[in-house]
Amino acid sequence: MIKDYLKNILEVYKKGDAREETYYPALKEFIENLGEKFGKKTSVKII
C-alpha cells in the first residue's frame, strides 16, 4: 500500500509537474485504501 503511494508520487514527479495539487489524487487514493484496510469508509472531498 505504501509502496503504491510512493510509486504514484514518483510517477507524478517524473512528469515534471511538481505542484502541490498534482499529488492530491495519489494522497486521496492512499487514504481510501488505508480506510478500506481498517474497515472504514472514507469520504474525501477535494475543494
Residue 15 has what DSSP assignment? T
pLDDT at 38: 83
Look at the pTM and tell me if it is higher than 0.85.
no
Residue 32 near residue 42, CB atoms below 8 Å: yes
Query: Buried b / exposed e across 20-46, counting CB within 10 Å, b at 16+?
Result: eeebeebeeebeeeeeeeeeeeeeeee
pLDDT at 4: 93
1-47 pLDDT per residue, tens: 899 999 999 999 999 877 999 999 999 999 989 888 888 665 666 65
Degrees to nearest 5, angle at CA 25 with 11 and 45: 170
pLDDT at 1: 85
pLDDT at 46: 61
pLDDT at 21: 92
